[in-house]
Structure 1
Amino acid sequence: RLSKLVTRLACNGELLRDMGKRFIDRFDKVQTSAFSDHPVSMKYRGIFERTKREEIDGPEGKYRLHYVGARIDETPQQAFEWWYGKHFKR
C-alpha cells in the first residue's frame, strides 16, 4: 500500500519544481522501469502509464516494464490525504 503513496509523490508538482530548481531544469514527467513476473505492475497502475513491455524471462522477472508519470499539481499533504482515504477509509 505504501508503494502507491511513493509513486504518487514521485509525480508531485511541488517536489518536481524543487528538483527543477536544484538541477536548473524543468521536470514535467517521471520515467521508471520495473521488473515483474506479471505483465503489469499494480503499484504504478492509475498513476503512471505503461509505455513499453519487454519479455526478458530472466532472474529478475519475466517482464521489463517501462512507465511514464505526468506531473500531478497537488501538495504532498493532498497526496497523503488521497492515499489515506483510498486505503484506510473503512
Structure 2
Amino acid sequence: MSSGVEAIVQAEKLLQIALMLPCAAGVGWLIGAWADKHFHQSWIAIAGIVFGAISGLVFVIRMALAAERSTRNETTAQKGSGERSGNSQK
C-alpha cells in the first residue's frame, strides 16, 4: 500500500515541476501588465515575463535536483549491502 502512495507523491512532484515554469511566466506577465497600466509604461510586462520565466526556471531546476537526489538516496537504501563501515562489530 505504501508504494502506491509513494508513486502518487512522486507523480505530484513531477507535475509540479512541469507546471511551475509556465505559471511563473504567466504571473510575471500579469503583474507586469498591471504595472504597465498603473505607471503608464510599455516595457514592464516584458520584464515581468522575463523575471517570471527566470524565477520559474530556477525553481524547476531546484525541484528537479531535489527529486533526483531523493530518488538516488532511495535507490541506495534499497540496494544496501548490509555491511558496516569500520570496525564497529565486536
TM over 0.5: same fold? no
Greater helix content: 2
Q: TM-score, normalised by structure 2?
A: 0.26
Task: Select the structure of larger CA radius of gyration.
Answer: 2
Greater strand content: 1
